[in-house]
C-alpha cells in the first residue's frame, strides 16, 4: 500500500517510522527538511508539497499541531485536497475541533476522496512504541482500509461513528489529562512546602486508586525540579484546553475545574514555557 504522511513533528516522525518498519511504501512531507532526514535514510520518499504526497498515496495521514496548521497543509493549490483523487483517503490524526474535521470531510468528499479523523492519545514514547490509542470517526470504508496501517501506530483503536465524534472525544480525554497533571503538581508543591518527602507521596499515590503511568513518568521529574523533555508541548495542551472550553460553551456545559486549569496553562505560556513539556506547568504552581 502506498502511504503518505504529512507533518513530522514529535508524534508524526515516530508514527511514520513505524509505518516504514512495517514495510509500507511511505512518502513524506514536512516544512522543515531536518524532520525527514532519518525517514529518508530509512526508505521513505520525500515529496515537495502536501499535494504531491496526496497524488502518490492511496491513504494520506497527517499530524499537525493546530487547526490553523491543518488548514495550511489541507487547502490551496499545493494542499492535500488538491492532490486527492477518486477513492483515495485522507486521515487527519491532528487534535482539532469538530468543525475543522467536518470541513476536511466536506472538502475530501467534494474532491472524490474519503475522510477519517483519527486523533491519538499518547505522547512521544507511546508513538515510538506504536502504543497509541487512536480515536477514529468518519467514512467507515476508509477506516476499514486504513486499519492495517493504524494497527502499526496504535495499540487500541476505536471507531466512534460520524466525523466530529473523535475530535470531541480527544478534547474530553485531554482536559482530564491536563487536570490530573495540575493536581499532581499542586500535591507535590503542598508536600514539599510543608516539609514532606515527595518521593514518599509519589509512592503513596502509585499504590492507591490514582496510580497511573503519567504520574509514574512525570512525578519524579516534577519533584526533582529537572528539565522536561518535550513529549507533549505545553502550548499544545493549552490549545486543547481552549478548544474543550469552546466546545463546552457551545453545548452549555460548565467546566469549572478546566477553566481554572486553563488559566494556569495560560500563565505558563506567558512565562515562555510553551515549548517545554506540559509538566512544566509545575513552575507556575510553585516557582
Residues 153 and 179 in one domain: no
CA dihedral in degrees (141, 147, 148, 152; nearest 10)? 160
Residue 246: per-residue pLDDT: 97
pLDDT in tens, 93-135: 999 999 999 999 999 999 999 999 999 999 889 999 999 999 9
Tell me the average pLDDT across 218-224.
Answer: 94
Residues 271 and 154 in one domain: no
pLDDT in tens, 162-171: 999 999 999 9
pLDDT band at residue 35 under the 50/70/90 scheme:
confident
Catalytic residue among 125, 170, 239, 266: 170
Residues 64 and 106 in one domain: yes
Q: The domain that contains 187 carries what CATH number? A: 1.10.1040.10
Give the residue, 159 or 37, on which the prediction is more confident: 159
Question: Given 162, 193, 209, which residue is the final one in a domain?
Answer: 162
Residues 88 and 33 in one domain: yes
Residues 157 and 174 in one domain: no
Structural domain that includes position 247: 168-285
Please give the mean pLDDT across all residues of the chain: 96
Q: The domain that contains 147 carries what CATH number? A: 3.40.50.720
Write the CA distances from 30 to 93, 96, 124, 201, 220, integer angstroms: 15, 19, 18, 43, 34
pLDDT in tens, 190-204: 999 999 999 999 999
Residues 128 and 198 in one domain: no
Residues 173 and 156 in one domain: no
Residues 172 and 148 in one domain: no
pLDDT score of 34 more than 90: no
* 8 A C-beta contact, residue 151 and residue 17: no
pLDDT in tens, 229-251: 888 999 999 999 999 999 999 99
Give the residue, 26 or 229, on which the prediction is more confident: 26
pLDDT band at residue 284 under the 50/70/90 scheme:
very high
Helix, strand, coil percentages for the chain (3-state, nearest 5): 55, 15, 30
Nearest alpha carbon to residue 238 among 206, 261, 210: 261
pLDDT score of 37 more than 90: no
Question: Given 162, 179, 203, which residue is the final one in a domain?
Answer: 162
Active site residue 170: yes
Question: Given 162, 187, 216, which residue is the final one in a domain?
Answer: 162
pLDDT score of 228 more than 90: no
Residue 62: per-residue pLDDT: 98
Residues 152 and 251 in one domain: no
Residues 112 and 142 in one domain: yes
The predicted model scores a pTM of 0.93
pLDDT band at residue 54 under the 50/70/90 scheme:
very high
Domain count, the chain: 2
pLDDT band at residue 153 under the 50/70/90 scheme:
very high
| Percent of the chain topping pLDDT 70 | 100
Question: Which residues neighbour 284 within 8 Å (Cβ) at sequence distance 6 or greater?
Answer: 264, 267, 268, 271, 273
pLDDT score of 75 more than 90: yes
Residue 36: per-residue pLDDT: 85
Residues 153 and 126 in one domain: yes
Residues 93 and 200 in one domain: no
Tell me the average pLDDT across 195-220.
Answer: 96
Amino acid at each position: 500500500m502506498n502511504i503518505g504522511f504529512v507533518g513530522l513533528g514529535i508524534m508524526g516522525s515516530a508514527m511514520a517510522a513505524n509505518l516504514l518498519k512495517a514495510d509500507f511504501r511511505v512518502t513524506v512531507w514536512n516544512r522543515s527538511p531536518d524532520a525527514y532526514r532519518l525517514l529518508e535514510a530509512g526508505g521513505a520518499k520525500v515529496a515537495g508539497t502536501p499535494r504531491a504526497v496526496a497524488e502518490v498515496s492511496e491513504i494520506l495521514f497527517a499530524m499537525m499541531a493546530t487547526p490553523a496548521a491543518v488548514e495550511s497543509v489541507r487547502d490551496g493549490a499545493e494542499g492535500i485536497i488538491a492532490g486527492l483523487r477518486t477513492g483515495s483517503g485522507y486521515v487527519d490524526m491532528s487534535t482539532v475541533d469538530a468543525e475543522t474535521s467536518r470541513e476536511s470531510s466536506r472538502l475530501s468528499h467534494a474532491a472524490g476522496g474519503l475522510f477519517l479523523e483519527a486523533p491519538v492519545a499518547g505522547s512521544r514514547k507511546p508513538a515510538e512504541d506504536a502504543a497509541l490509542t487512536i480515536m477514529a470517526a468518519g467514512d467507515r470504508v476508509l477506516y476499514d482500509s486504513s486499519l492495517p496501517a493504524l494497527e502499526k501506530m496504535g495499540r487500541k483503536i476505536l471507531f466512534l461513528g460520524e466525523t466530529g465524534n473523535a475530535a470531541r472525544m480527544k478534547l474530553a480525554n485531554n482536559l482530564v489529562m491536563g487536570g490530573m497533571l495540575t493536581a499532581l503538581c499542586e500535591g507535590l508543591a503542598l508536600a514539599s512546602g510543608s516539609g514532606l518527602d515527595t518521593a514518599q507521596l509519589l509512592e503513596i499515590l502509585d499504590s492507591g486508586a490514582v496510580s497511573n503511568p503519567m504520574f509514574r513518568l512525570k512525578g519524579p521529574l516534577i519533584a526533582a525540579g529537572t528539565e522536561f523533555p518535550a513529549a507533549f508541548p505545553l502550548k499544545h495542551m493549552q490549545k486543547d484546553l481552549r478548544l474543550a472550553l469552546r466546545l463546552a460553551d457551545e453545548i452549555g456545559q460548565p467546566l469549572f475545574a478546566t477553566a481554572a486549569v486553563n488559566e494556569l496553562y495560560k500563565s505558563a505560556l506567558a512565562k515562555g514555557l510553551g515549548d517545554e513539556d506540559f509538566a512544566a506547568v509545575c513552575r507556575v504552581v510553585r516557582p
